[in-house]
């Protein structure tokens, strides 16, 4: 068992078994879909989410893990080790990093907890988390893990395109006129997160 423990959130979209095999703790975000609040990866899978998404008229929203969830998780992890690296979804997309930082504050001094804003989401975040956990498993200390993670972040870019503009319009990212014109011209925007 490694001395450094790795914590992340479910937006990392880790492949099945990776978290368990590498000892990564994953806190689920909550997805509000219609009238339901579902814990990502527990109450709803990605496949199930997209099936449900087609049946609701309001755009889904996400809620980060609560401050209490972070406090309880840090308390549990610091019973096992005094070194924790928490790597989370971009602070520009979620309040997850801010809540993790607040929860870690009372434990600082007794434990070394480093909270990192990955500036990423999904597969990019998963790559960083997996690499950090592998380094920890091979005996890297917390400073080495943090240096590795911070070195990776500026070198990872996420690029994707959307098949339909419906969800961008429903989520308020583009206006109705833009969605209609884009659909008429069969535009599929390329989005890049860097």
pLDDT digits (tens, 9 = 90+) for 129-163: 999 999 999 999 999 999 999 999 999 988 887 78
Beta strands in 13-137 (DSSP E): 24-27, 30-33, 36-39, 61-63, 83-88, 112-117
Q: How many domains does the chain have?
A: 2
Mark whether 99 and 182 lie in a shared domain.
Answer: no
58: in domain: no
Mark whether 69 and 164 lie in a shared domain.
Answer: no
Contacts (Cβ under 8 Å, ≥6 apart) of 51? none
Structural contact between residues 49 and 33, judged by C-beta atoms closer than 8 angstroms: yes
Show the domain range for 168. Answer: 159-193
Mark whether 105 and 168 lie in a shared domain.
Answer: no
Please state the rounded mean pLDDT for residues 157-185. Answer: 80
Mark whether 101 and 142 lie in a shared domain.
Answer: yes
| H-run or E-run covering 179 | helix 176-184
Q: Which two tokens stand for residue 174?
A: 């583009």
Mark whether 148 and 103 lie in a shared domain.
Answer: yes
38: in domain: no
Q: With left for phi above 0 and alpha for psi between -120 and 50, is residue 139 left, alpha or beta?
A: left
Mark whether 10 and 103 lie in a shared domain.
Answer: yes
57: in domain: no
Residue-level pLDDT at 87: 98
99: in domain: yes
Q: How far is CA 98 from the centre of its chain?
A: 13
35: in domain: no
Mark whether 105 and 147 lie in a shared domain.
Answer: yes
92: in domain: yes
Mark whether 79 and 25 lie in a shared domain.
Answer: yes
Mark whether 25 and 112 lie in a shared domain.
Answer: yes
Output the domain CATH number for residue 10: 3.40.50.10440
The percent of residues in the chain predicted with pLDDT above 90, rounded, is 58
Mark whether 139 and 186 lie in a shared domain.
Answer: no
Structural contact between residues 165 and 178, judged by C-beta atoms closer than 8 angstroms: yes
> Whole-model pTM above 0.75?
yes
Which is more confident, 86 or 185?
A: 86
Please state the rounded mean pLDDT for residues 30-48. Answer: 85
Mark whether 16 and 81 lie in a shared domain.
Answer: yes
Which residue's structure tokens are 């504050």? 105
103: in domain: yes
Report the SS3 class of residue 111: strand
Mark whether 138 and 183 lie in a shared domain.
Answer: no
Residue 101, pLDDT > 80, answer: yes
Which residue's structure tokens are 């080790």? 81
80: in domain: yes
């Amino acid at each position: 068992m490694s001395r450094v423990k790795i914590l992340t959130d479910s937006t990392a979209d880790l492949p099945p078994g990776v978290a368990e095999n590498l000892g990564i703790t994953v806190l689920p975000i909550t997805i509000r879909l219609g009238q339901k609040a579902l814990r990502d990866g527990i109450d709803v899978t990605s496949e199930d989410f997209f099936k449900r998404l087609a049946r609701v008229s309001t755009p889904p929203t996400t809620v980060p893990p609560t401050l209490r969830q972070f406090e309880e998780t840090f308390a549990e992890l610091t019973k096992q080790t005094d070194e924790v690296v928490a790597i989370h979804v971009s602070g520009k997309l979620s309040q997850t990093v801010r809540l993790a930082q607040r929860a870690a504050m009372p434990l600082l001094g007794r434990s070394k907890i480093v909270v990192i804003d990955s500036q990423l989401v999904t597969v990019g975040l998963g790559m960083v988390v997996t690499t950090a956990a592998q380094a920890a498993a091979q005996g890297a200390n917390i400073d080495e893990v943090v240096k590795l993670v911070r070195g990776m972040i500026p070198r990872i870019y996420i690029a994707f395109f959307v098949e339909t503009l419906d969800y961008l319009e429903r989520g308020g990212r583009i206006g109705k006129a833009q969605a209609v014109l884009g659909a008429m011209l069969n535009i599929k925007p390329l989005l890049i997160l860097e």
